[in-house]
Amino acid sequence: MSEALIERLVKFAESGNQQKIILNGQSHQGWIMEITEEALLISTGFADKTGKDIWVKFTDLPQAELSYWDNKNDQWTSFSL
């Protein structure tokens, strides 16, 4: 994984109130919790009973749609790597 990709993923994780990743027709909305050498972890719930932690591999990111919730404009804003 390149340093530039790490920096972009950190920026994505710090953007907005929440992040959304749409991959293979499934939407995962929540918070980026961890970034490793091979994947990022998004937590999609606010409680243990309703939330899921999902690992998204970096190799899957080119096919994914990334966005974050922009509180200032109250809308989802696209994010590109």
Pick the CATH number of 3-71 from 3.20.20.70, 2.60.40.10, 2.40.30.20, 2.30.30.100: 2.30.30.100
Closest by Cα among 62, 64, 61, 79 to 13? 79
Confidence of residue 45 (pLDDT cuts 50, 70, 90): confident
Residue bearing the bigger pLDDT, 51 or 32: 32
What is the reported pTM? 0.87
Residues 60-77 pLDDT 10s: 999 999 999 999 999 999
Any idea where the domains of the chain sit in the sequence?
3-71
